[in-house]
Structure 1
């Protein structure tokens, strides 16, 4: 099997990780593109001692690390929100966030995360502990949950409140979600894409974002429907069935980028 065949199925998820790490689709995709170019230019250097998915993320990690030390905001990043986020990323414990995203969101074991980050298991455990501390320090906010399955909505409510946030409302249709957003002005939205009356969580979020800016985390059993590369994609995407740690990691990252923008 060729390298392209081996890593092809994993590219949508690497793009998800890159966006969560960098904060924007454009920035994340640039890092992924640079990683693919590195593989094409020197295929003999692709790691053969690990699974292809681990090797792909290891190559990405080398590209990302090389850009971070020292890190300079690219000249083309004229959006102030992007600039502030990039500055924050260059100064706030990036490895702890990477360890958390790799294990909680991407589903790697601690051993595999260590192979990607070139760290032993003790360091990975320390990075994860530090990441949890960062989650605990997040500023409390009101959260809108858009979810039509009551049990899942209850699970999300418990996770959100366990992190010190408040659930402003739970909506199960596009119209009720938009009405709740306008009424409560939430600081974060957790959204399913298939809602009770056949409406779309994507459309609900589009309506909400037309009114005001708010970070959004999509939660879906069909992530491939949103990772097509054919339209603007969500920065934060969680696959059902989800783990509590996955949701915590995504909430932490989403609020990190939002607070970065507001610090300007």
Structure 2
């Protein structure tokens, strides 16, 4: 079910890790992802938990908050997941300016507070992009890093 370089499969159901220290947000996202047919394999509130769960559970995709229980470590988690474990990453944050210029290996960002529609559209966009059928523009609630900053190296603001 894996595709080289992204960790995303072409099948209908993805194995998803949620990296979020606010449990109500994590549970809401888990419910939404399960409702649209994906398998949430775990929820982590800290960088150590996220890395351990990712190694053990081998998710296809991770939704990663930038600020976790152990501080602003989500960027480091994303970088590790993408580079070493071949896990595709979507950031979730209220402050996109905290995303590094190299995007830490993430595919894009969903602004918090997110909506159900925003998460669904971002997930559909990423899945379509991985199968080379992506629409020309990302949904409003989602910023695809493939469309932003590639030429000049700047991050979304």
- TM-score w.r.t. the length of structure 2 is 0.71
The answer to whether the 8 A contact 1:147-1:192 is kept is yes
- TM-score w.r.t. the length of structure 1 is 0.44
Determine which structure has more spread, i.e. the larger CA radius of gyration: 1
The residue number in structure 2 matching 1:214 is: 87
The residue number in structure 2 matching 1:145 is: 18
Cα shift readout 1:142-197 (whole Å, capped 9, x = no counterpart): 10000000110011001100110010000011111011111111111101000012
Give the structure with the larger helix fraction. 1
Cα shift readout 1:207-254 (whole Å, capped 9, x = no counterpart): 11232322211000101222xxx6212432111111110011111112
Selected match of 1:238 from 93, 98, 110:
110
Cα shift readout 1:93-135 (whole Å, capped 9, x = no counterpart): xxxxxxxxxxxxxxxxxxxxxxxxxxxxxxxxxxxxxxxxxxx
RMSD, matched Cα: 2.3
Separation in structure 2 between the aligned mates of residue 244 and residue 206 of structure 1, nearest angstrom: 26
The answer to whether the 8 A contact 2:81-2:89 is kept is no
Separation in structure 2 between the aligned mates of residue 235 and residue 141 of structure 1, nearest angstrom: 15
The residue matched to 1:218 in structure 2 has which SS? strand
The 5 Å alignment of 1:46-65 reads none
Separation in structure 1 between the aligned mates of residue 54 and residue 131 of structure 2, nearest angstrom: 19
Q: 2:68 matched to 1:195?
A: yes
Change (3 A) 1:259 1:183: farther
Q: 2:44 matched to 1:171?
A: yes
Separation in structure 2 between the aligned mates of residue 259 and residue 186 of structure 1, nearest angstrom: 18
Query: CA offset at residue 199 of structure 1?
Result: 4.6
Number of paired residues?
124
Change (3 A) 1:183 1:259: farther
Q: 2:26 matched to 1:156?
A: no
The residue matched to 1:139 in structure 2 has which SS? coil
